Amino acid sequence: MDVASQLQAVAVNSPVSDYTIPDLALPRGDLWVFGYGSVMWRPGFDYMERRPGRLHGYHRALCVWSWFHRGSPNSPGLVLGLDVGGSCNGIAYRVDASDKHAAADYLYHRELVTDGYEAMLVRVYLNDGPVTAPVTAPVTALCFRANRQHPQYAGKLDHGHAADVVRQSKGNSGANPDYVASAVEQLQVMGINDRALANINRLVAEGS
């Protein structure tokens, strides 16, 4: 059985849950949420403040197979995850303390339909302006990293292979090419040049 067939077999037989509760105690007071993928342009929860932020120790990568949001069990797509090493610029949202449990509940339901991601609390350094501006003191934020122990962890893929996967995939949240294009667009607005993601996006468009 080739790699693609093995992945399809795992996807078909992997449970998709309606809700996964991580073993996390939310910080007291307001809750910060760090978005590095679709949460940047489609947060889906109420917030009081939205600011650029940087997380150290992890980088953004198209490293998670998706067989729910942007793919299917028979044709898994690819979505962004936080992988170990480097740093990641994204968007930090401050959620009012009275709304934080509803926001966390929404994000758990959205991000943890399988165990392909892990919820965690991290230190995020906020910017007062562009991503190149000096950072302020860190805040503790909720975010979701790629689960390297789960079959959905794709690791580092050849850009051409990744583009072929993205081009043909579609899931419950829409087409995979739209997801990648939206990520590149949002990063450009923020002044971030993610060369790997931009190159995959270009290859997707060229092959369409």
Q: For 3-51, how does the pLDDT look when each residue is reduced to its tens digit (9 = 90+)?
A: 455 555 555 555 565 556 677 899 999 999 999 999 999 999 999 999 9
Active site residues: 111
Overall number of domains in the chain: 1
In a domain, 178, yes or no: no
Residue 20: domain span: 3-157
Distance between CA atoms of residues 108 and 26, nearest Å: 13
Domain-located, residue 181 = no
Q: Note whether residue 183 is domain-resident.
A: no
Helix (H, G, I), strand (E, B) or coil at 177: helix
- For residues 96 and 11, what is the distance between their CA atoms, to the nearest angstrom? 37
d(CA 204, CA 22): 35
- Residue 9: inside a domain, yes or no? yes
**Is residue 199 assigned to a domain?**
no
12 alpha carbon, distance to own chain's centre: 22
Strand, helix or coil at 179?
helix
Contact 130, 124 (CB under 8 A): no
Q: What is the CATH number of the domain that holds 23?
A: 3.10.490.10
List the one residue out of 81, 76, 207 whose CA is nearest residue 146: 81
Give the pLDDT score at 15: 57
Q: Is residue 110 part of a domain?
A: yes
In the predicted model, what is the mean pLDDT of the chain? 88
Q: Residue 9: enclosing H or E segment and its boundaries? A: helix 3-13
List the pLDDT tens digit at each of the 208 positions of the chain.
Answer: 444 555 555 555 555 655 566 778 999 999 999 999 999 999 999 999 999 999 999 999 999 999 889 999 889 999 999 999 999 999 999 999 999 999 999 999 999 988 899 999 999 999 865 555 555 779 999 999 999 999 999 999 999 999 999 999 999 999 999 999 999 999 999 999 899 999 999 999 998 6
Residue 166 lies in a domain: no
Do the domain assignments include residue 196?
Answer: no
